[in-house]
Amino acid sequence: MDYNTEGIKAIRNEDYEEAVKAFTEAIDANPDDPIGYINFGNLLASIGREEEALKAEKFFQKALTLDPGSMTAIYGLAGLYYNLERYEEASRLYEKAIRGGIEGADAPYMLAKSLERTGKLKLALPYMQRARELAPDDLQIRLSYGILLASMEMFGEAMEELQHVAEHDPENADAHYNLGVLYAVSTQQREHALSHLKKAFTVSPDHIQAREVYNMISQSEQ
- CA-wise closest residue to 4 among 29, 13, 14, 17: 29
Give domain status of residue 25, yes or no. no
| Burial group, residue 158, by CB count within 10 angstroms (0-12, 13-18, 19+) | buried
Give domain status of residue 209, yes or no. yes
Give domain status of residue 216, yes or no. yes
93-115 pLDDT tens trace: 999 999 999 999 999 999 999 99
Q: For residue 171, what is the domain's CATH number?
A: 1.25.40.10
- CA-wise closest residue to 31 among 12, 59, 73: 59
| CA dist., res. 163 & res. 156, Å (int) | 11
Give domain status of residue 16, yes or no. no
Range of the domain at 165: 150-222
Give domain status of residue 37, yes or no. no
Q: How confident is the model at residue 176 (pLDDT cuts 50, 70, 90)?
A: very high
Give domain status of residue 119, yes or no. no
Q: For residues 192 and 163, is the Cβ–Cβ distance under 8 A?
A: no
- The number of beta carbons lying within 10 Å of the beta carbon of residue 61 is 14
112-134 pLDDT tens trace: 999 999 999 999 999 999 999 99
To the nearest 10 degrees (0 to 180), the angle between helices 173-186 and 139-151 is 20
Overall number of domains in the chain: 1
